[in-house]
Structure 1
Amino acid sequence: MKRYTHRLSLLTCFIALALGCSEGAKTTPLPLEEIPQNLMEVAQNELPDVKFEQAIKRGDGSIEIRGKDSNGKVRDIDFSATGEILEVE
């Protein structure tokens, strides 16, 4: 009986984890040409020495723009769906 209960608990946790992670993990590559011009301008002002190379759009509408600085360090800036800066790394 204990073995059955333990397995059922593990299965329940696994299913809950899988379902909980599936919604927020949706991302789509976004061509730089499709990023609103005002967001690109803000990104370039915040990280002037970064050459932006790629972007992704998340399921919640937020956008991450990523590039490398002159030293080769990867830098990115995250925007909310409304265009507010969420994070600069």
Structure 2
Amino acid sequence: MSRDAKDTVYCRFQMPLAQGEEFMKLVLELRASGAHGELEAVFTEMIEELQGSIDFVQEMLRGLEATTNRSPYLKTSCDAQTCFP
């Protein structure tokens, strides 16, 4: 996609994970319809950005679940001097 600083539109959206997943479905449907061929490169970039962000949030949430569900007394990694939960 060619970008000229004089006529480039920038957008930045923030939304909860559930809305991000719904927005991803919408973008995929619009792209698949073929009705907006001039936006193919925009759809591709949106999908990449959304998927990366969704993956990041899901991974972060999985990590939070793992740490909040673990017992602080459970030792998972020990060496000769210390143990880390």
CA radius of gyration, larger in:
2
TM-score greater than 0.5 by the shorter chain:
no
Q: Which has the higher helix share?
A: 2
